[in-house]
Copies of this chain bind each other. A is one copy, B any other.
Amino acid sequence: MVTMKDIAAKACVSISTVSLVINHRDKGRVKPDIAATIWKVAEELGYHPNAMARSLRSGRTHTIAFISDQVATTPYAGEIIHGAEDAARQLGYMMFIIDADDERDISGDIDRMLSWGVDGYIYAKFANRYISVPPTLDDMQVVVVNAEERTVIHPRIEPDEFSIGYDATTRLIHAGCRRIAYIGCDEPAIAQVGRFKGYRQALKDAGIPFDKRLTSRVSHGRPALEAVCKLLDDTHPDGVFAFNDARAVYVYDYAFQHGLTIGEDLSVIGVDNHEVICDTTVPALTSVELPHYEMGFWGACKIISMIEGTDPIEQERVTPSYNAASMPPLDTDGPARIHCAIVEKESIVGGPRTHDDSEPAQTAGSDANPSSSASADGSRRPQRR
């Protein structure tokens, strides 16, 4: 390992001089030609400053820990991690990853983090859920992403579930739908409650009466398919808002079986903009995209702002890879809620709306910031394969 000592020896100066130069503190203190020599020697020797030694002195490690359950099991995990890593990297931080399976005791991992002197923690879930942050972290800097604490302690960000339901339903109404079904999730999730409220509010605002028979809560597999078919057979809706894309698929199955064409005879909108489903549905499913990348990005910016006491977004020290507009400010009172854009495909009658004629619904009772719509031609995500 090359050290400052080696450089000092080769450049015939003292270690402190090397330190000054390497840390760019040599302005008017070290002769420029000496500084140049030092840089040259450092380069030649392939010098890399020893982060460990540095941290030992400074007490700051420039690392954060990303703790999450279900790193493994959800397809969206990567986007949150990616967003957080992206922001962390741009701000000079490295990110540890810790899988916190619900069943597993993570106190050992937390001890290890404490040993490392990690500067801050991101605690994330991959579905908007209730969690409790381990009390060991009580006097650490913690940000909660895509989840809610029963007793709120830490700053957090979550999707604006209400406006997902509101916007999706409104989109169908604008396409001319009047009998709009809701295919829900059979579990009482935060997401379910919010989206359903948004659905009802949108109907109300449009003067369309709510009809319970148009709603159903399903899980997966054959029972779900049968429930959806029954709903469609019984009530013949002209639009369907599905809790998520997976549940929207059953509407496609029904349509294939009955010779209907989605996007012509029947409009459908889902949630998740799930890559594989959007890839494989014909016509492609229009869907509301949950901004996982953005939530991760926000989380990392937030935790780093707490560590450093400055706002990296305001200071423009950091740029998200996409969709910067939808990033809520870091210093919101209460939870940050992030707006979710509709990704237009082909499953709604009348075809994709262009950006121009869409005015995202202003969500009553929601503190969403001004929304940004994704482009009409689909996801803003990088394409796979």
Interface residues of A (CB under 8 A from B): 1, 48-53, 55-56, 59, 61, 66, 70-75, 77-79, 81-82, 85-86, 89, 94-99, 101, 109, 111-112, 114-117, 127, 185, 187, 220-222, 225, 245-246, 249-250, 252-253, 256-257, 259, 274-277, 279-280, 282-284, 293, 381-385
Contacts and interface: CB of A to CB of B under 8 A. Distances in A.
A246 B73 contact: no
Given A94-B112, A101-B382, 18 more contacts: A1-B117, A48-B111, A51-B115, A52-B56, A52-B61, A72-B293, A73-B383, A81-B97, A85-B98, A89-B98, A94-B96, A94-B116, A95-B97, A127-B385, A220-B279, A256-B257, A257-B257, A257-B259
Contacts of A72: 78-79, 81-82, 293, 381-382
B279 A381 contact: no
A382 B86 CA distance: 28
Contact of A77 (B50, B77, B187, B381): B77
Nearest to A99: B85
Given A256-B256, A385-B127, A116 B51 contact: yes
Contact of A56 (B53, B70, B185): B53
A173 to B, nearest CB: 27
Contact of A246 (B59, B115, B280): B280
Contacts of A221: 279-280, 282, 284
Contacts of A66: 97
Which of the listed residues A86, A115, A382, A384 has the most CB atoms from chain B within 10 Å of its own CB? A115
A247 B213 CA distance: 35
A157 B115 CA distance: 32
A299 to B, nearest CB: 14
A275 B75 contact: yes
Contact of A276 (B99, B246, B253): B246
B282 A222 contact: yes
B283 A246 contact: no
A114 B274 contact: no
Which of the listed residues A72, A74, A117, A274 has the most CB atoms from chain B within 10 Å of its own CB? A72
A256 to B, nearest CB: 4
A188 to B, nearest CB: 12
Contacts of A283: 222
A277 B276 contact: yes
Contacts of A101: 382
Contacts of A114: 48
